[in-house]
């Protein structure tokens, strides 16, 4: 799926590009799989604004996605490929033999009329979900579970895939899109293939108004603000703030490690950004 550019008949159109939606179905979304979605406006449960750069945006409906793929052994036919405003990937509407309909994150190359299946007896082909112990080493996978039965939590963004590197005991070794090497239990399910819509990375917003449609408010650098508004604000002229770059709440930026999940440290073989010897 390519991107579409426009003639520069206005200043914003000069750099404006959108996805080419020609491969998507013209039908309306499946109403039984949709529900309302409220916008937080950047406010937490106490009503306090914790993200000042979020707000507005176009109204959206949420599509319920089947990340678990727990309908094992039942074949489903892809009836439509659709756009989902809540994610960068495309979604596929699957109708199973027993009549049930579900949405799934579509892999690259999936078309209407294709058959997909999940479970140990599924074929090794894009769109099918199997336990990692039954997937051949070397294949790209996405929608990877962290715990058996919880549903896919890793590798769900447009154009992404994790590389199945090796099997070690009860664990599979995956190279994540961030270059992190991580161990996942072989009992966990993953879907074969790469996530659809890889050209999402090439889309240019083109104008500030389009960012507002996407729930993004104007963003100012800290050094342009007053001291009351930001730790790096104030000064005469263009000053750098006189301190290490930090957020509005004082958290250090540019290099500070913020990961705080000691329960899963043992599953990370190599952190992201670390150079691999011989690579």
- What are 45-103's pLDDT values in tens digits? 999 999 999 999 999 999 999 999 999 999 999 999 999 999 999 999 999 999 999 99
DSSP assignment string, 126-187? TT-EEEGGGSPTT-EEESEESSTTT-EEES-STT--EEEEEEETTEEEEE-TTS-EEEEETT
Dihedral sign from CA coordinates of 39, 254, 205, 30: negative
Residue 241 has a pLDDT of 66
State both tokens at 239: 């000053």
pLDDT averaged over the chain?
A: 93
Give the separation between CA 129 and CA 119, rounded to whole angstroms: 6
Residue 101 lies in a domain: yes
Q: Give the closest residue to 78 by CA, choosing from 90, 64, 63.
A: 90
Residue 12 lies in a domain: yes
- What are 113-147's pLDDT values in tens digits? 999 999 999 999 999 999 999 999 999 999 999 99
Residue 276 lies in a domain: no
Residue 29 lies in a domain: yes
Q: Between the CA of residue 78 and those of 81, 86, 96, 116, 192, what are the distances in Å?
A: 8, 20, 9, 7, 16
pTM over 0.75: yes
Number of domains in the chain: 1
Alpha helices in the chain (DSSP H): 208-213
Residue 225 lies in a domain: no
State both tokens at 226: 């007053």
Distant-in-sequence, close-in-space partners of 205: CB < 8 Å, separation ≥ 6:
16, 211
Q: Does residue 122 contact residue 130 with C-beta atoms inside 8 Å?
A: yes
What range does the domain containing 133 cover? 3-200+258-270
Residue 278 lies in a domain: no
CATH code of residue 81? 2.40.50.140
In the block, tokens 């008949």 appear at 9
Residue 235 lies in a domain: no
């Amino acid at each position: 799926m390519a991107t579409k550019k426009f003639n520069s008949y206005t200043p914003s159109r000069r750099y404006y590009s959108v996805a080419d939606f020609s491969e998507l179905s013209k039908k309306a979304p499946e109403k039984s799989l949709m529900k309302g979605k409220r916008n937080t406006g950047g406010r937490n449960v106490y009503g306090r604004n914790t993200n000042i750069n979020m707000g507005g945006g176009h109204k959206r409906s949420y599509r319920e996605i089947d990340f678990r793929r727990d309908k094992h052994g039942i074949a489903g036919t892809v009836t439509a490929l659709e756009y989902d405003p809540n994610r960068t990937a495309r979604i596929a509407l699957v109708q199973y033999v027993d009549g049930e309909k579900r949405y799934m994150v579509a892999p690259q190359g999936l078309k209407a009329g294709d058959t997909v299946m999940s479970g140990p007896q599924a074929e090794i082909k894009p769109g099918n979900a199997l336990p990692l112990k039954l997937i051949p080493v070397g294949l790209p996978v996405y929608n990877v579970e962290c715990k058996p039965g919880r549903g896919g939590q890793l590798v769900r963004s447009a154009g992404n895939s994790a590389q199945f590197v090796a099997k070690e005991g009860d664990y599979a070794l995956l190279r994540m899109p961030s270059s992190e090497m991580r161990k996942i239990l072989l009992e966990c399910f993953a879907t074969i293939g790469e996530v659809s819509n890889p050209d999402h990375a090439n889309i240019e917003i083109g104008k500030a108004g389009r960012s507002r449609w996407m729930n993004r408010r104007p963003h100012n650098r800290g050094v342009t603000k007053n001291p009351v508004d930001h730790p790096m604000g104030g000064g005469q002229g263009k000053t750098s703030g006189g301190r290490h770059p930090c957020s509005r709440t004082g958290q250090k930026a540019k290099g500070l490690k913020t990961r705080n999940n000691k329960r899963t440290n043992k599953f990370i073989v190599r952190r992201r950004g670390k150079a691999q010897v011989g690579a």
